[in-house]
Amino acid sequence: MKFYFQLDGDIIRDAITYPYDGYTEVDLDTTYLPAGINAGYYRLQDGVPVLDLTLKEEVDKASRPADYVELEQRLAAAEAENKKLAEESNANQLALMELHMMLLSVLPDES
């Protein structure tokens, strides 16, 4: 089936099924196009639309709401705090074990 793509370099910006000025005609072996073909993260390579995951990540990140960005930052801060607390917990456990060993060394043997 023939499709017509509006291209920005090799990035597909729009796809339609009828000829239009400024659009490139592409004959594909399929009657449908993948979802998101006109979202700006598909490239036309050798006459075939190919998903570019790097572009998809950029487009998805740019279209995130401001709340999402704030939540992402808060999550990163919480993960850093969690790591710090885990390290402190490990240090406390080691200190407690050392204290226990010291206590055992000064207490008289029960036997």
Band (75; pLDDT cuts 50, 70, 90): very high
pTM score, whole prediction: 0.58
Q: Supply 72's token pair.
A: 């992402």
Return the pLDDT at 73.
Answer: 93
H/E/C letters for each residue in the chain?
Answer: CEEEEEEECCEEEEEECCCCCCCEEEECCCCCCCCCCCCCCEEEECCEEEECHHHHHHHHHHCCCHHHHHHHHHHHHHHHHHHHHHHHHHHHHHHHHHHHHHHHHHCCCCC
- Give first-to-last CA distance, the chain, whole Å: 91
pLDDT (tens digit per residue) in 24-70: 999 999 999 999 999 999 999 999 999 999 999 988 888 888 888 88
